[in-house]
Amino acid sequence: MDLIKKIRSRKANIGIIGLGYVGLPLVIEFCKADFHVTGFDVDKRKVDLLKKGKSYIKHIKSSQFTAHASRFTPTTDFANLKKMDCIILCVPTPLDKNREPDMTYVFSTTRTVAQHLQKGQLIVLESTTYPGTTDEDMRKILEEKGLKAGKDFFLAYSPEREDPNNKNFSVRTIPKVVGGYTKKCLVAAKALYDTIVEKTVPVSSTKVAEATKLLENIYRAVNIALVNEMKLLFERMGIDVWEVIEASKTKPFGFQAFYPGPGLGGHCIPIDPFYLTWKAREYDFRTRFIELAGEINTNMPYHVLQNVELVLNRFKKALNGSKILVLGVAYKKDVDDKRGSPALRIIQLLKTHGAKVQYHDPHVPFCRDLRHYPDIDMRSLKLTKEVLKNSDLVLLVTDHSAFDYPFIERYAKCIIDTRNAFRKNGINSRKLFNA
């Protein structure tokens, strides 16, 4: 197979579509493996920054690109796809306003690839999606001009498993699941990923690979929903859920700790369950367990809102007109990624109820241009003692390591901590309330 020889000799040209949290780490790994990589994106601003060797994602250093400048070409010109040997799609798969899959990015990108498709090319989808996307929907689009998958070109699916800013795992060390439309497709895709990861995990089909990604994140979503529900119950019973979890963790088998929070965030865990729920309808099947988990997690921001009202009431204040300082709008600690962050929903709810909301996040200087929250247009405040003193309530949503927790506790009037961050940092105070 000519493509396999090209891959193994590092002569294959790699094209990566979508230069975000998934695509950029792949660019770096392929460059490290001595491939020439072309990065495609419709966002000219991103491409221009990358051409200057500048990263726009906080945990990805600019030096990681400048070190491989001779091997990396960012572009907005998709006509260059015809020159690629391997094309990897890393585009968004969000939910629409009705919480159903929005496949606009995947299908429009596939149509673009189809326009430039050449014999012998390998096309791989990495975006999270429902089973059948690759070998049914994408294949039909790619085959419209006469080339056949498995015969004229290779088609595969390999789910991204990115965990931004995870210090323990990287693209190279996370096992890579790979499924091909045919056996030859699988061989080609496995050969490609073998060059950049320590272990590839071949599976029997693209559908199995797609389902693997869904199961991984639905597992997390369901368990987070379980512990969120336990938190709501234990709160009424006067039991500290955080202490319960720490005690349960001492069991060396049969238990894995999950933690409650203000809601789910990120691009995968809040979204993936609904992709399977939507696809299940085609088979006249209702995923009740998954739907219940989604309902619980989706309602957590409303629980936070209720607790804000209760705490303010203790100080004889109404939510309407109160000054609320939100700490952290990123979806997880120590990243600049605010996609799907529960903080956005919480801010929207607080504003809807008349609160005067401001925020501080050392990783997110601006909060604007949000798909589902077009009315949010805010700038992160500098965290000073005056800002803390002038706030009626401080609401910690994201537990960034950069926060000076003793400083915050010293000058805040009252604090709602949705992450148990203050106690983890050794701070116990009458000002603290969990939510």
3-state SS string for the chain: CHHHHHHHCCCCEEEEECCCCCHHHHHHHHHHCCCEEEEECCCHHHHHHHHCCCCCCCCCCCHHHHCCCCCEEEECCHHHHHHCCEEEECCCCCECCCCCECCHHHHHHHHHHHHHCCCCCEEEECCCCCCCHHHHHHHHHHCCCCCCECCCEEEEECCCCCCCCCCCCCCCCCCEEEEECCHHHHHHHHHHHHCCCCCEEEECCHHHHHHHHHHHHHHHHHHHHHHHHHHHHHHHHCCCHHHHHHHHCCCCCCCCCCCCCCCCCCCCCCCHHHHHHHHHHHHCCCCHHHHHHHHHHHHHHHHHHHHHHHHHHHCCCCCCCCEEEEECCCCCCCCCCCCCCHHHHHHHHHHHCCCEEEEECCCCCEECCCCCCCCCCEECCCCCHHHHHCCCEEEECCCCCCCCHHHHHHHCCCEEECCCHHHHCCCCCCCEEEC
Q: Is 90 a catalytic residue?
A: no
The residues, ordered by sequence, that sit 6+ positions from 190 with a Cβ below 8 Å of its Cβ are 178, 180, 200, 202
- Closest C-alpha among 217, 218, 184 to residue 202: 184
Residue with tokens 């805010």: 378
Among candidate residues 86, 268, 367, 414, the one labeled active-site is 268
- Determine contact, residues 258/223, Cβ cutoff 8 Å: yes
List, by residue number, the catalytic residues: 268
